[in-house]
Structure formats: structure tokens, C-alpha cells
Structure 1
Amino acid sequence: MKTTKKPIATETNQLEKTIGRIMRWGVTLAIIIMVIGLLAFLLHGGLGYPNNYYVHSFKELFSGLAEQKPYSIMMLGIFILILTPVLRVVASIYSFYREHDWLYVVITALVLLILIASFILGIYFRR
């Protein structure tokens, strides 16, 4: 008995729909978390940190989340919002790989490397 492979076009369409759902869910989740942070801000009457304070590490972010500080909650929403298109780039690499479109695999991988480098440089050169 032979197994039939799905045509590449059908598989690509399914992957594009999945990527679309990931993008929608990522943005929706980020919005929900930001609204929760806004409500916490309105209920607490402040951000939970002194003025002009910024979270500088994941440790501080998670510590603030454990203490339910509104600023940390909103930062988590922003973090998820930033990671959503990065996940889209990763999914695109997989999609191009499945299509055997090596030029776009390389180009998209370079885009991912640039994104990762910008995150790393942002960590090392923050003020």
C-alpha cells in the first residue's frame, strides 16, 4: 500500500494558516496581558516601581511578575508582542525549507540572525 504525500502547495497553505493563527494568538495574548497590566495599574494607583525605573533583566521582570507589579505585567505583554514576529520568521524558515527554496531559507535565516544579534547587542549596550 502506497502512502501519498501532500502536494507542496497544500502543505504551504496549511503552514501559512498556522502562521496566521500564531500571529493572531500572539497579538491577542499580548493585548490581554497589557490590559491586565493596565487594570492593575489603575487598581494599585502606580506601576509598582519608583519613577524613571526600568526593568533591566529577566530576573527583575519575573520577580516583578511574582509580586504582581503592573509595570512588569505590561512589560511581559510587550515582550510577547516582540517575540510574535520572531516566531513568524522561524516558521518562515521552516516553510521555505519544506519548499526546498534554499535562497529564501538563507535570507530568512540571516534575518533571524540579525534579530538575535540585535537582542544580544541591546542587552550589552543598554544604559
Structure 2
Amino acid sequence: MSFRTPLKQALGLGASHSGTSRWWAQRVSSVALVPLLIWLIIGIVRHGGADYTDAQAWLSSPITAVLTILTLVASFYHGALGMQVIVEDYVSHETVQLALVVLVKFAAMVLAVAGIFAVLLVALGG
């Protein structure tokens, strides 16, 4: 017994399977974010009452700067993937959907680059 419609059988079209790679990417980025965010939260709590020079000294360590940049990249990538799924699921008009996905990806990229620039500016003493 086949549940295929005559149109599906004629066209040979089925699921596009394009969502699988995004699903895996979101799972991998979420797994990467767990230790990164735990590390960042501990670092922020430990330096909570610090002034700018102490924060700059902490962030000027190469390991700290790299881990902070990785946290920013993973966070914005994960967030953009999640927002794309939300837009694709709940916006039915194709043109609006495409515009929103492009806007989400552009905003995530701009914010990630701004965050990386800020980290490098503080870490390098600018």
C-alpha cells in the first residue's frame, strides 16, 4: 500500500532533506556552547567587581580572548539557525520569509563581527 499521491509519483519529488544539516549544525553548536558558556559565566562572576584594567588584563590572555571569540561566534551562529527555523515555520509568505531570513543572518553576522572587534580592541589594549 502506497501513500504517495499521483502527483508525487509523477514528479518524483519528496522531502528535500535540507533541514538535516541545519538540525545537526544547531545540535553541534549547542554542545559547543555548553562548556564555553560555563567558562564565560565563571570568568564573569570571578571578575564581577573588577575595574576596566583588571578586565583588560583577563581578556588580554590569548586563551581567554580566543575562547570569548569562540563563544561569540557559536552563540550568534546558533541563534541565527534557531531564528531561521522559526521564520521558516511561522512565516508563510515566501518573499517576507526570504527577507527575514536574510535580515536575521545579516544581523547575526554584524553583531558577531562587532563583538569580535570589541574583544580584540580590549584584548590588544586599544
TM-score tier, shorter chain, comes to 0.3 to 0.5
TM-score by length of 2: 0.41
TM-score, normalising length from structure 1? Answer: 0.41
Greater RCO (Cα-Cα under 8 Å, separation 6 or more): 2
Higher-Rg structure is 2
